[in-house]
Amino acid sequence: MQPILQILQDKLNKRIEEGLYRELKDYAGFCDFSSNDYLGFSRDQKQKNRYGSAGSRLISGNSSDIEELEEEIANFHKTASGLIFNSGYVANLGLFSTVPNRGDTVIYDELIHASIRDGIRLSNADSFSFKHNDVQHLEERLAKSKGNIFVAVESIYSMDGDSPNLNLVSDLCQKYKANLIVDEAHAVGVIGKRGEGLVAKLNLQKEVFATVVTFGKALGSHGAIILGSEVLRNYLINYCRSFIYTTAPSSETIQTIRQQYDKLSRLYYSSSYEFNVALKLKNYFIAEIGVTRKLIYGPYGNVVSVIIPGSENVRKVSNALKDKGLYVKEILSPTVPKGAERLRICFHSYNSMKEVNELINYLN
């Protein structure tokens, strides 16, 4: 067992000895005197299905459906276990505020998502950023770290659309006995043989301590799941405040997530044109406009950023595109560094070549 997992298991064992261990149970079929469903609105009186949620999963909101879905998603991504959260923000906040502790070290890419930064702040662990996708700087940070060490990266960065060399990052984590955490928010659905994400594509599941998958991007749903070991799952159930003290997802939400995963599996299994049309549009756009504009993008994913320095400048271009019926969001500082303001363009399976050409013609 990895050292960090043994530490987590020891804390769980102490809770078991003290009689404080939390377990998820399904209370369906019981007479309800525990839920928060005061007016019965979470239940459809004309059907057997429950559409709402009645409390946290540790009190009355757990069900066999949600636990089965967690197992199905873990199997899809070829990991041991998973725990569903209500959003990617809540999942990252909970993971990073719960597992690292005072005396530990969290090292994160300087472009990491705000939810991870917020979670790190709550952890009381020491934390340091490293230069974006710079493995040499990462190693310098690792060499000076203490306690349990955690490294946080994204498989596709939402603003730049690029990716780390995850194999090299993983090798460094193994060398320094650090625990790698990968946020796959923008990778699931667009990377891998079945859209499983970059961790699965590179077969790094056993080397990655935790993978955060969100359902609100390519899957078009809501919520997130933290994938990892069974020990990690049990630890989060017992210690993660953003899981313990929040209302469980409704059965309707659970069914929607399951349907979206089924749809994703069918899409890739049938080799449907839809799964790579966005990538083709992206590559066409890059080839046509890369000579005249400064672009930032990566080999994976559907995001291309057109750099237009100055908030007023990029806002002016964005508004002009909106006047033509093309909605492209301007990204201003401080979300991105001053001087790196940009149009963030996301390509989709439902965009047409005609629309992309209109975009190209204006930007050229």
Domain count, the chain: 2
Q: How far apart are CA 89 and CA 165, in angstroms?
A: 24
- Domain identity same for 39 and 117: yes
Positions in the chain short of pLDDT 50: 33, 38-39, 41, 45-49
**H or E element that contains 137:** helix 135-143
- Domain identity same for 16 and 135: yes
> Domain ends where: 267, 296, 323?
267
- Domain identity same for 96 and 11: yes
Print the domain residue range for 76. Answer: 3-267
- Domain identity same for 333 and 244: no
- Domain identity same for 207 and 318: no
- Domain identity same for 22 and 142: yes
- Beta-carbon contacts of residue 9 (< 8 Å; ≥ 6 apart): 1, 231, 235
- Domain identity same for 256 and 184: yes
Q: What is the mean pLDDT of the chain?
A: 90
**Whether the Cβ atoms of residue 116 and residue 88 lie closer than 8 Å to each other:** no
User: pLDDT at position 37, please?
Assistant: 60
For residue range 305-356, list pLDDT tens digits in order: 999 999 999 999 999 999 889 999 999 988 889 999 999 999 888 889 999 9
Phi first, then psi, for residue 81 (nearest 5°) are -160, 165
Fill in the amino acid letter for 235. Y
Q: What is the CATH number of the domain that holds 304?
A: 3.90.1150.10
> Domain ends where: 267, 295, 315?
267
- Beta-carbon contacts of residue 314 (< 8 Å; ≥ 6 apart): 308, 330, 331, 332, 341, 342, 343
Where does 71-206 show beta strands of DSSP type E? 81-85, 105-109, 126-130, 149-154, 179-183
Residue 127, classed as helix, strand or coil, is strand
User: pLDDT at position 39, please?
Assistant: 42
Angle at 153 between CA 147 and CA 155, to 5 degrees: 150
- Domain identity same for 257 and 300: no
User: pLDDT at position 59, please?
Assistant: 87
Q: In whole angstroms, how far apart are CA 197 and each of 103, 204, 301, 311?
A: 32, 11, 10, 33
